[in-house]
């Protein structure tokens, strides 16, 4: 059977399962999620054995230690997978919620109701725990899921999926609510992204190259999680102690994340008072600082930031710093070089704050808070499928609601169009 | 200048204009819309003169009378364009609405606020009135718009756009809030659909071939308006007089639209009582009826429906009829052959109605009402950019809200991630 035929068969099963799952009561979905968590516990030996084979093959193939760490499962990591399934079971069900209902004067009742999307394809890289995390979120939101993980994790993913499928069947759901693409062929990605009519959405979770590849080929809708070039702007009306705390947290607390600050913008009226102490503290935390000419005049000895730095997602303890002549210049810089992810103004001036919140075209815009707060759990969504840098359908942290769509249910008494 | 450079320049101007438009007060947008309507009245001679040139060229090129009719502008059609701009001015502004706001225990305030998408590309076919209709909807929802109409309508579209741009400037907005692609080169479509970073959304408005072409090439997100293979299902518990009225309306009232019925499904227990009178009435309205074997036994002399008929969007006075053994069989038929557009059950049984509403995976599902009601104006949205057959972002009739996205505005007092 060709790879395309195989994927069409898998997604056909997923589609049939999705039709059933779409109308399953919340309690049954929750029972299934808890059954999955319990099944993972019983399957720990089998899953760890499969994972050891993956890790051994990856070691022989000379993969980097960082990649092998991401690939490796332990009892602790499987326990986290179980906890995450149980946590999703405890969340409210987004499906069936009436978003809006209205009645026309002639009595026609129109309800806009939240429903699952159908079948979601997830394309991801090496972490096998993503497999069960995605299954939990998709199942709770009423969607079937087709999973294509990194080829180096295939044995682990197949072992996890087999466990979860068995649990789904025992909970009275079709096993087809989830499936792992059983192939390491890279063409599987391109085929998946063109299965229009079979898949309703593709979410690539991984590096920029993977996401660009998916977006370039896809005819199925894609929600993208591109990089974050996030900014903190210290206004001339800022509380400088707060500014230092916010900027330090945004850069240093976890620099490898998409919501970490990459560029610090400082109003020129605040620069001389603010920058020396700020940069001293950053350097003490081993941050490499690259400055614009004004920054380097105020704090001598810094490396020069080049034009390229303003667009860089370092994902590391590196920071570019720029002095700007005005709030508007800060906004323009962010809208030009940023990635519409997360940006902060530190200011005590309410009008400046509102101008920034309105004019900066980003998924999350902050006043006096760290960009690191852009996160499904921090926002209280209870879950996170990623942080969308798209504007269509879902923007910013994606929780369960963002994995649904809606339909109009219309009640008439013989209503016609005249 | 190459076509790509030209389109990049145009969309760059649109993007700059969109940043300004995004924060313009509602009153100014409404003034601009009314100024546009007034400007169209003054420009009637110039617009009709340009249109006459388009029509003359189309006639020389031997275009079909139907196409030439769609292309032709009259004083009346320009008056409709003006009325439509004024009507959009009177609608509520979706921008700035707080969709949800919540405060964390630690005081962090999170607001989810409706904002414009940015720059919308519209790719459409021959009707020049679409030009001003799209400008009205995009401008009111705070978006700049790049328009690529049918090449046979280019002179008309350029004349309309020039008028509207001048009015925008006089209302204090940048002219770049709207632009017509000044080229008849078909490659412009493929280039537009790959202007990621410049355009935020593409909406193709036209036949299936155009939409498929756009979807196949696009890296910019696309909302698609594919065909409607819509169904009316007459349940065994239906009021047959109501069923006949609903089905007749769904087929005959305006058969060339995407929400017209293409297939009539009838429960076998109702078929013998229902079909003879129904088909007699349809035939009297010159509808060609193609039946399944059971239908043809009940009403002899009908043409046979083939497998192909169940997927056909006739857009004409043609109907396929199928007798089904059960409600579930009707649901399965619709989910298999339908296009997830609009489908109706006629029944007096509340449980049957709910089962149909839940299980049929369509944008609009009806009980005892005509599929022809799927429409932005009928739904009370006050406007319509089309009827989305996609599930992402917008499903069913698209009004002003569907041309917006949201951002999170977050208010802290030095809040950090710990």
Given an 8 Å threshold on Cβ–Cβ distance, is A370 in contact with B249? no
Residue A243: C-alpha distances to residues A257, A265, A282, A356 (Å): 20, 11, 13, 16
pTM: 0.94
Give me the residue label for tokens 């006459």.
B52
B105 to chain A, any CB pair closer than 8 A? The answer is no
A335 to chain B, any CB pair closer than 8 A? The answer is yes
Residue of B221, B365, B411 with shortest CB distance to A409? B365
Given an 8 Å threshold on Cβ–Cβ distance, is A359 in contact with B23? yes
Tell whether the model's pLDDT for residue A383 goes beyond 90.
Answer: no
A398-418 residue pLDDT tens: 999 999 999 999 999 999 999
Tell me the three state secondary structure of residue A241.
Answer: helix
Enumerate residues 399 to 418 of chain A having a beta carbon within 8 A of any beta carbon in chain B: 405-418
Torsion sign, CA atoms A358, A364, A365, A368: positive
Q: What is the pLDDT of residue B1?
A: 75
Distance from CA of B321 to the nearest CA of A (A): 20
DSSP state of B306: P
Tell whether the model's pLDDT for residue A1 goes beyond 80.
Answer: no
Residues B311 and B309: their CA atoms lie apart, in Å, by 5
pLDDT band at A219 (very low <50, low <70, confident <90, very high): confident
Contact present, B319 and B287 (Cβ < 8 Å): yes
Enumerate residues 271 to 290 of chain A having a beta carbon within 8 A of any beta carbon in chain B: none
Q: Which residue is closest to A360 within chain B, CA to CA?
A: B19
Question: B219: which chain A residues are within 8 Å (Cβ-Cβ)?
Answer: 215-216
A122-155 residue pLDDT tens: 999 879 999 999 999 999 999 999 999 999 999 9
DSSP state of B406: E
The mean per-residue pLDDT over the stretch A354-369 comes to 97
Given an 8 Å threshold on Cβ–Cβ distance, is B392 in contact with A364? no
DSSP-derived pairing of the beta strands B109-116 and B98-103: antiparallel
Same domain? B401 vs B310: no
pLDDT band at B57 (very low <50, low <70, confident <90, very high): very high
pLDDT band at B407 (very low <50, low <70, confident <90, very high): very high
Question: A246: which chain B residues are within 8 Å (Cβ-Cβ)?
Answer: 414, 416
Tell whether the model's pLDDT for residue A197 goes beyond 90.
Answer: no
Tell whether the model's pLDDT for residue A341 goes beyond 80.
Answer: yes
The mean per-residue pLDDT over the stretch A96-101 comes to 96
Question: A216: which chain B residues are within 8 Å (Cβ-Cβ)?
Answer: 219
Tell me the three state secondary structure of residue B321.
Answer: strand
CATH of residue A355's domain is: 3.40.309.10
Q: Which of these ranges, A263-267, B66-70, B333-337, B398-402, has the smallest mean pLDDT? A: B66-70
Distance from CA of A92 to the nearest CA of B (A): 17
* Order of all β-strands in the sheet with B404-415: A303-304, A288-291, A318-324, A261-267, A230-234, A342-346, A364-369, B404-415, B109-116, B98-103
Given an 8 Å threshold on Cβ–Cβ distance, is A392 in contact with B392? yes
CATH of residue A73's domain is: 3.40.605.10
Contact present, B92 and B106 (Cβ < 8 Å): no
Could you write out the three-class secondary structure of B358-379? HHCCCCEEEEEECHHHCCCCCC
pLDDT band at A359 (very low <50, low <70, confident <90, very high): very high
pLDDT band at A30 (very low <50, low <70, confident <90, very high): very high
Distance from CA of B151 to the nearest CA of A (A): 26
Question: B418: which chain A residues are within 8 Å (Cβ-Cβ)?
Answer: 253
Q: Which residue is closest to A247 within chain B, CA to CA?
A: B416
Torsion sign, CA atoms A213, A216, A220, A226: positive
Given an 8 Å threshold on Cβ–Cβ distance, is B253 in contact with A418? yes
Distance from CA of B144 to the nearest CA of A (A): 14
Q: What is the pLDDT of residue A389?
A: 93
Give kind and range of the element (H or E) at residue B293: helix B293-298
Q: What is the pLDDT of residue B122?
A: 96
Same domain? A163 vs A272: no
Residues A417 and B10: their CA atoms lie apart, in Å, by 41
Residue of A245, A392, A408 with shortest CB distance to B221? A392
As a whole-number percent, the residues of chain A with pLDDT over 90 amount to: 91
Q: Which residue is closest to A199 within chain B, CA to CA?
A: B391
Tell whether the model's pLDDT for residue B383 goes beyond 90.
Answer: no
Residue B53: C-alpha distances to residues B66, B71, B79, B128, B153 (Å): 17, 11, 20, 13, 9
- Residue A321: name the closest of A380, A274, A258, A371 by CA: A274
B200 to chain A, any CB pair closer than 8 A? The answer is yes
Given an 8 Å threshold on Cβ–Cβ distance, is B410 in contact with A378? no
Same domain? A166 vs A17: yes
A278-330 residue pLDDT tens: 999 999 999 999 999 999 999 999 999 999 999 999 999 999 999 999 999 99
Question: A372: which chain B residues are within 8 Å (Cβ-Cβ)?
Answer: 416-417
Question: A410: which chain B residues are within 8 Å (Cβ-Cβ)?
Answer: 364-367, 369, 373
Q: What is the pLDDT of residue B197?
A: 85
Cα atoms in the Cβ-side hemisphere of radius 13 Å centred on B16: 9
Residue of A200, A395, A414 with shortest CB distance to B406? A395
Torsion sign, CA atoms A196, A198, A201, A207: negative
Question: B254: which chain A residues are within 8 Å (Cβ-Cβ)?
Answer: 417
A238-291 residue pLDDT tens: 999 999 999 999 999 999 999 999 999 999 999 999 999 999 999 999 999 999
pLDDT band at A354 (very low <50, low <70, confident <90, very high): very high
Tell me the three state secondary structure of residue A341.
Answer: coil
Given an 8 Å threshold on Cβ–Cβ distance, is A245 in contact with B414? yes
Q: What is the pLDDT of residue B154?
A: 96
Test the B interface: residue of A221, A234, A252, A332 with most B CBs within 10 Å = A221
In a domain, residue B389? The reply is no
The mean per-residue pLDDT over the stretch B29-58 comes to 98
Residue of B23, B335, B417 with shortest CB distance to A370? B417
As a whole-number percent, the residues of chain A with pLDDT over 70 amount to: 100
In a domain, residue A251? The reply is yes
B91-120 residue pLDDT tens: 999 999 999 999 999 999 999 999 999 999
What count of other Cβ atoms lies within 10 Å of the Cβ of residue A244?
18
Residues of the domain holding B201: 3-224+396-411
User: Burial of A87 by CB count in 10 Å (0-12 exposed, 13-18 middle, 19+ buried)?
Assistant: middle
DSSP readout, A251-311?
HHS-TTSTTSEEEEEEEHHHHHHHHHHHHHHHHHTT-EEEE-HHHHHHSTTPEEPPGGGGG
B174-218 residue pLDDT tens: 999 999 999 889 899 999 999 988 999 999 998 888 898 898 888
Residue B389 main-chain phi, psi, to 5 deg: -100, 5
B329 to chain A, any CB pair closer than 8 A? The answer is no
Q: What is the mean pLDDT of chain B?
A: 96
Given an 8 Å threshold on Cβ–Cβ distance, is A367 in contact with B391? no
Q: What is the pLDDT of residue A206?
A: 85
Question: A408: which chain B residues are within 8 Å (Cβ-Cβ)?
Answer: 363-365, 374, 379, 396
Residues A390 and A412: their CA atoms lie apart, in Å, by 37
DSSP-derived pairing of the beta strands B404-415 and B109-116: antiparallel
Same domain? A55 vs A116: yes
Structurally, chain A folds into a number of domains equal to: 2
Residue B415 main-chain phi, psi, to 5 deg: -65, 135
pLDDT band at A186 (very low <50, low <70, confident <90, very high): confident
Q: Which residue is closest to A335 within chain B, CA to CA?
A: B19
Q: What is the pLDDT of residue A217?
A: 83
The mean per-residue pLDDT over the stretch A388-393 comes to 94
Same domain? A172 vs A312: no
In a domain, residue A340? The reply is yes
The mean per-residue pLDDT over the stretch B291-297 comes to 98
B317-327 residue pLDDT tens: 999 999 999 99
Same domain? A402 vs A293: no
In a domain, residue B379? The reply is no
Chains A & B: contacts with CB separation below 8 Å: 195
In a domain, residue A212? The reply is yes
A109 to chain B, any CB pair closer than 8 A? The answer is no
- The gap from C-alpha B238 to its chain's centroid, in whole angstroms, comes to 31
Question: A227: which chain B residues are within 8 Å (Cβ-Cβ)?
Answer: none
Question: A102: which chain B residues are within 8 Å (Cβ-Cβ)?
Answer: 380
Same domain? B299 vs B203: no
Test the B interface: residue of A408, A411, A413, A418 with most B CBs within 10 Å = A408
Same domain? B87 vs B211: yes
User: Burial of B44 by CB count in 10 Å (0-12 exposed, 13-18 middle, 19+ buried)?
Assistant: middle
Token pair, residue A90, equals: 């405890």
Same domain? A317 vs A204: no
Residues 6+ apart with CB under 8 A from B329: none
Give me the residue label for tokens 């707080």.
B98
Enumerate residues 361 to 400 of chain A having a beta carbon within 8 A of any beta carbon in chain B: 361-370, 372-375, 378-380, 390-393, 395-396
In a domain, residue A334? The reply is yes
Given an 8 Å threshold on Cβ–Cβ distance, is A416 in contact with B246? yes
Cα atoms in the Cβ-side hemisphere of radius 13 Å centred on B118: 26
Residues B280 and A87: their CA atoms lie apart, in Å, by 59
What is the number of helices (H) and of strands (E) in chain A?
14, 16
Enumerate residues 203 to 242 of chain B having a beta carbon within 8 A of any beta carbon in chain A: 215-216, 219, 221, 223, 239, 242
Contact present, B211 and B224 (Cβ < 8 Å): yes
In a domain, residue B382? The reply is no
Same domain? A97 vs A214: yes
Q: What angle do CA A145, A257, A157 make, to 5 degrees?
A: 30
Same domain? B355 vs B406: no
The mean per-residue pLDDT over the stretch A99-105 comes to 96
Distance from CA of A117 to the nearest CA of B (A): 7
Given an 8 Å threshold on Cβ–Cβ distance, is B335 in contact with A19? yes
Distance from CA of A306 to the nearest CA of B (A): 22
The mean per-residue pLDDT over the stretch A206-234 comes to 90
Residues A369 and B415: their CA atoms lie apart, in Å, by 5
In a domain, residue A332? The reply is yes
Same domain? A174 vs A158: yes
Tell whether the model's pLDDT for residue A207 goes beyond 90.
Answer: no
């Amino acid at each position: 059977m060709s790879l395309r035929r195989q994927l069409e068969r898998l997604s056909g099963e997923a589609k049939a399962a999705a039709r059933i799952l779409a109308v399953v009561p919340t309690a049954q979905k929750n029972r299934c999620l808890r059954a999955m968590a319990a099944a993972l516990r019983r399957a720990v030996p089998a899953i760890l054995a499969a994972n050891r084979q993956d890790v051994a093959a990856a070691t022989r193939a000379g993969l980097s230690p960082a990649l092998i760490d991401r690939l490796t499962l332990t009892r602790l990591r499987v326990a986290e997978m179980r906890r995450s399934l149980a946590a999703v079971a405890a969340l409210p069900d987004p499906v069936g919620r009436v978003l809006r209902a209205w009645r026309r004067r002639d009595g026609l009742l129109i309800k806009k109701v939240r429903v699952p999307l159908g079948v979601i394809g997830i394309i991801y890289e090496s972490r096998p725990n993503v497999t069960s995390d995605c299954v939990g979120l998709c199942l709770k939101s009423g969607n079937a899921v087709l999973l294509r993980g990194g080829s180096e994790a295939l044995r682990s993913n197949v072992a996890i999926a087999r466990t979860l499928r068995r649990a789904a069947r025992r909970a009275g759901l079709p096993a087809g609510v989830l499936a792992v693409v059983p192939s390491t062929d890279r063409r599987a990605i391109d085929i998946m992204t063109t299965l229009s009519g079979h898949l309703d959405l593709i979410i690539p979770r991984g590096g920029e190259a993977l996401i660009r590849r998916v977006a370039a080929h896809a005819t199925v809708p894609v929600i993208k999680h591109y990089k974050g070039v996030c900014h903190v702007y210290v206004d001339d009306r800022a509380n400088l102690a707060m500014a230092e705390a916010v900027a330090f947290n945004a850069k240093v607390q976890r620099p490898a994340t998409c919501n970490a600050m990459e560029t610090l913008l400082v109003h020129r009226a605040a620069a001389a008072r603010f920058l020396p102490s700020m940069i001293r503290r950053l350097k003490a935390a081993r941050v490499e600082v690259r400055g614009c000419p004004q920054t380097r005049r105020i704090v001598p000895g810094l490396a020069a930031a080049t034009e390229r730095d303003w667009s860089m997602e370092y994902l590391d303890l590196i920071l570019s710093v720029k002095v700007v002549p005005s709030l508007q210049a800060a906004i323009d810089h962010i809208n030009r070089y940023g990635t519409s992810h997360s940006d902060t103004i530190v200011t005590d001036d309410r009008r400046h704050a509102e101008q920034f919140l309105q004019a900066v075209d980003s998924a999350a815009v902050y006043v006096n808070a760290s960009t690191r707060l852009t996160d499904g759990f921090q926002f209280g969504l209870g879950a996170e499928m990623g942080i969308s840098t798209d504007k269509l359908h879902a923007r910013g942290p994606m929780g369960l609601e963002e994995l649904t769509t809606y339909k109009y249910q219309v009640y008439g008494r013989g209503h016609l169009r005249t």
